Amino acid sequence: MEPAEIMGVVNVTPDSFSDGGEWFDRDAAVTHGLRLSADGAAILDVGGESTRPGALPVPEDEELRRTEPVVRALARMGGATVSIDTTKLSVAEAALDAGARYVNDVTAFRGAPELAGLVADRQARCCLMHMLGDPRTMQQEPRYADVVDDVKAFLTERAEFAVREGVGEHLIDVDPGIGFGKTLAHNLELLARTDEIVALGFRVVIGVSRKSFIDRITPAPDPHDRVPGTIAANVLAYERGARVFRVHDVAESRQALQVASATLQRDGA
């Protein structure tokens, strides 16, 4: 059984829902990234633009200013693969020049289609995520005929686009976008049926860390108090075949997923 891969979140933003402002300073962000790597993160996902519901876009030059120095420092220090969480071509290009080897695009190359060609040219790994609309509008009465079928169709189409642009299939990860244009019921349906998304043939990334749907199930208004709910959702998704987990709390998540992996592999299962 393939082990879980932990993607640690390094938000260089003043307004992210879960830790906005905590790591906005460049040196603080680098120190935080190194701590996450030491805790077991295989990937460090550096982002300079919040994608929380209602978030406004960040100007390109500001996003570059926030992310490029952090990416460069973390890549130079080695260890974990550095990822850039962006929808902008110039930001991704600067990050790849600075040593990033992964591009995490919440628009799945819809925001900047040229990103696919850049990823292909650099032979970088990428994550294509499902989202309705954009962060400003995604939670305005999201509706689906069948959320899993609709998300699968979207991810298939975007992966096919990436392959046509030259991205190797083995370099493509897909993310159902928990919380991105979904109700609580949609989120739970996607988690329960993660195996259907895994069946598409790509590594599946799950990003539930500290998200508000956990508070809807069991009151935890402070995002920092949602770690147990995050772990529960990740373990269930791992059992259903997901293998990459984007989290803020790396050490706790890694321990839980290691126990889940050992249990599922018992007696050679």
Q: How confident is the model at residue 51 (pLDDT cuts 50, 70, 90)?
A: confident
Enumerate the active-site residues: 211, 246
Taking residues 140-167, report their average pLDDT. Answer: 94
Is the separation of the CB atoms in 135 and 55 below 8 Å? yes
Instruction: CATH number of the domain at 199, please.
Output: 3.20.20.20
Report, in angstroms and rounded to the nearest whole number, the Rg of the chain calculated over CA atoms. Answer: 17
Please give the model's pTM, rounded to 2 decimal places. Answer: 0.92
Q: Which two tokens stand for residue 26?
A: 């460049």
- State the chain's mean pLDDT as an integer: 92
Q: Residue 216: its pLDDT value, please?
A: 96
Per-residue pLDDT of 82-127, as tens digits, reads 999 999 999 999 999 999 999 999 999 999 999 999 999 999 999 9
Within 8 A by CB and 6+ apart from 114, the residues are 89
Q: How far is CA 78 from CA 34, 71, 75, 99, in A?
A: 9, 11, 5, 10
> In whole angstroms, what is the distance from residue 48 CA to residue 62 CA?
8
**Which residue range(s) make up the domain with 104?**
5-268
Q: Is the pLDDT of residue 48 over 90?
A: yes
Q: How confident is the model at residue 135 (pLDDT cuts 50, 70, 90)?
A: low
Confidence grade of residue 17 (pLDDT, cut at 50, 70, 90) = very low
How many structural domains compose the chain? 1
Q: Determine contact, residues 68/98, Cβ cutoff 8 Å.
A: yes
**Residue 19's pLDDT is what?**
47
Quick check: 143 pLDDT over 80?
yes
SS3 for 204-229 is EEECCCCCHHHHHHCCCCCHHHHHHH
DSSP one-letter string for 95-148 = HHHTT--EEEETTTTSS-THHHHHHHHHT-EEEEE--SS-TTTTTSS---SSHH
Of residues 23 and 198, the one with the higher pLDDT is 198
Q: What pLDDT is stored for residue 25 in this prediction? A: 82
pLDDT digits (tens, 9 = 90+) for 194-249: 999 999 999 999 999 999 999 999 999 999 999 999 999 999 999 999 999 999 99
pLDDT value for 15: 52
Please state, in angstroms and rounded to a whole number, the distance separating the CA atoms of residues 65 and 88. Answer: 13
* Rounded distance between C-alpha atoms, residue 146 and residue 229, angstroms: 25
Both tokens of residue 71?
A: 């990416």
Q: What sign has the CA pseudo-torsion 227, 228, 234, 237? A: negative
pLDDT of residue 134: 66
Q: Does 262 score more than 70 pLDDT? A: yes
Instruction: Tell me: pLDDT of 33 over 80.
Output: yes
